[in-house]
Structure 1
């Protein structure tokens, strides 16, 4: 699991999950480029890594544009001589239901999450192919992108798109020795503080109380540090054969998401008209319809 002599960029790593990823990569020996839009937050993140014995520098810039992606890769190469790991974590929220979501709400989230993942991964891929000794791309997705989430058209769409891009990039970059994977974490961060059913657990954590097993296991919910190990694993030699996958992580739970697949199939000579679909619907597809959103368990009374 050693990442000595490896160099990583982690976007959106001034705090929260991104900081946990950066700190864990540094703890395993990687030099890290920390990224945030706030200089003070980025500097504090760098200090936390350096004071723990690691190596880090900051690149302050908003993720989304090609210019920022180039700055991040250049920051890694200029400070540490190379780039081996790109973790695309930066994100924002602009939650609203569909009929209230503005163009700006949509574009802002898509620009950071989807376009930012694309531009940073593309810049890393160009560098990895020129460098000639492989590389690792870890893109941060979300359960919302796998199953949808109320009020998150922009976020869910972006996160679903990220997993689709990961599957494609895994095919395109395989011959170059570059692995590409997605991680879909659930953790207590500023982005989950607005989720009502998580409030009791977040308040408990703020008070220093341990999370109950139900939260850590059934909900797969924990601290940002709980979600960091899978990123370091995928960045390491131990994860060299793993590519094109989407992992769920949080609390005590680590899981692998499946590909979307056809779960009910029927055939009809000559094809399907609307009438023929209606005639056979109840017997062929009605009992196989997929749910939307996460079907979260309810904690038993204590």
Structure 2
């Protein structure tokens, strides 16, 4: 598989998952537009890709507005003369439970994740369609958008919205030969570093060691590089028949998420009024029929339990 001659934009690619995606695309031959809000971070990412032997340029702009999306596409055209691939990775977190979440907390996350994906995809698709380019669009979702997660109303709404837009865009872009998919990464990030459940996995990754098999295999939790291969594949010509999908990647695991389907269906002539629902509630909304919500994690083996706070410092003394 080669992306030679292709040009890719990766938003939010100064570090973390975005940088891993950009580096993998560059290794496969694509010229890459790095994007970050911090000029120094973008410059460091650019230097890494060039040190790897890849081609890249940087556009320093906060994703969200139409103007930012135009700047990114213009940056690709000015530096490399074309655009073939868009990866919308940029995002921020403002985690708080519902009653503590401010309007600003909500709006900032929605603006970067959801509106930023919308504006960048709209701009890139316009270019693809006008120039008859069978482009590749890879958006980034999250298990939180698929399942929900405590303290992440804003993030869950944005990530679920992205998958909803992907399914709509797949219909709208089909005639133009443009594919659009959502990748659902499960990897060590700045967010997972703060979750005690993943402590042993993140610590191993930071030491440059392989994560314990429990995390990689049973949980499908791995490194940014474990997700980057899927992003590069979806950007390739080989993935021309894959569109409108939500695909999970992490550790040793790959998942194709179903589109929401009815778990159970019942009919009643004349419809379901209050009395009818009340009379059959036990059957309709039985424990077997009600759907789960939130992430469900397997119990950690004893040897992978997080250390109590202060344990490391005590051991060091």
TM-score interval for Structure 1 and Structure 2 normalised by the shorter chain: over 0.9
Q: Which residue of 1 aligns with 2:177?
A: 177
Give the superposition deviation at 1:280.
1.1
Partner of 2:51: 51
Matched residue of 1:183: which SS?
strand
Q: Secondary structure at the residue paired with 1:228? A: helix
Alpha-carbon RMSD: 0.9
- Alignment partners' CA distance in 2, 1:168 and 1:26: 29
Contact 1:183–1:248 (CA under 8 A) maintained in structure 2 = yes
Instruction: Return the offset for 1:132.
Output: 0.7
Q: Which residue is 1:269 aligned to? A: 269
* 8 A contact 1:145–1:159 mirrored in 2: yes
- What's the offset of the Cα at 1:189? 1.4
2 CA distance for matches of 1:29 and 1:208? 26
Deviations 1:36-61 (A, max 9, x none): 01111111111111111110000001
Which residue of structure 2 aligns with residue 82 of structure 1? 82
Moved more, 237-246 or 182-191: 182-191
Quote the Cα distance in structure 2 between the aligned partners of 1:36 and 1:294.
30
- Deviation, 1:105, is 0.1
Find the counterpart in structure 2 of residue 294 from structure 1: 295
Q: Distance in 1 between matches of 2:222 and 2:301?
A: 18
Segment drifting more, 191-200 vs 268-277: 191-200
Distance, in Å, in 1 between the alignment partners of 2:192 and 2:94 is 13
Deviations 1:122-172 (A, max 9, x none): 000100001112101100000000000000000000000000000000000
Q: Distance in 2 between matches of 1:204 and 1:52?
A: 24
Q: Which residue pairs with 1:235 in the alignment?
A: 235
TM alignment of 1:192-271, pairs within 5 A = 192-271=192-271
Query: Please, what TM-score do these two structures have when normalized by structure 1?
Result: 0.98
Q: Which runs of no fewer than 5 residues in structure 1 stay unpaired?
A: none
Task: Give per-residue Cα distances to partners, 1:56-107, cap 9 Å, x unaligned.
Answer: 0000010001111000000001100000000000000000000110000000
Partner SS, residue 269 of structure 2? coil
After superposition, residues 159-178 of structure 1 pair within 5 angstroms as 159-178=159-178
Aligned to 1:8: 8
| Distance in 2, Cα, partners of 1:57 & 1:298 | 44
**Cα deviation, residue 218, structure 1:** 1.4
- The one-character-per-residue Cα deviations of 1:23-44 (angstroms, maximum 9, x if unpaired) are 0000000000000011111111
1:149 aligned partner:
149
What's the CA shift string for 1:203-238, capped at 9, x where partnerless? 222233321111001111111111101110000011
Distance in 2 separating the partners of 1:281 and 1:151:
31
Deviations 1:214-271, CA, capped at 9 Å, x for gaps = 1001111111111101110000011000000000111111110000110111111100
Number of equivalences: 302
| SS of residue in 2 equivalent to 1:128 | helix
Could you tell me how far apart the structure 2 residues matched to 1:141 and 1:57 are? 25
Shift of 1:11: 0.1
Shift of 1:182: 0.1
Q: Which runs of 5+ in 2 are unaligned?
A: 304-317
- The question of whether the paired residues in 2 share the 8 Å contact of 1:264 and 1:285 is answered with no
Distance 2:210 2:87 in 1: 29
Secondary structure at 1:138 match in 2? strand
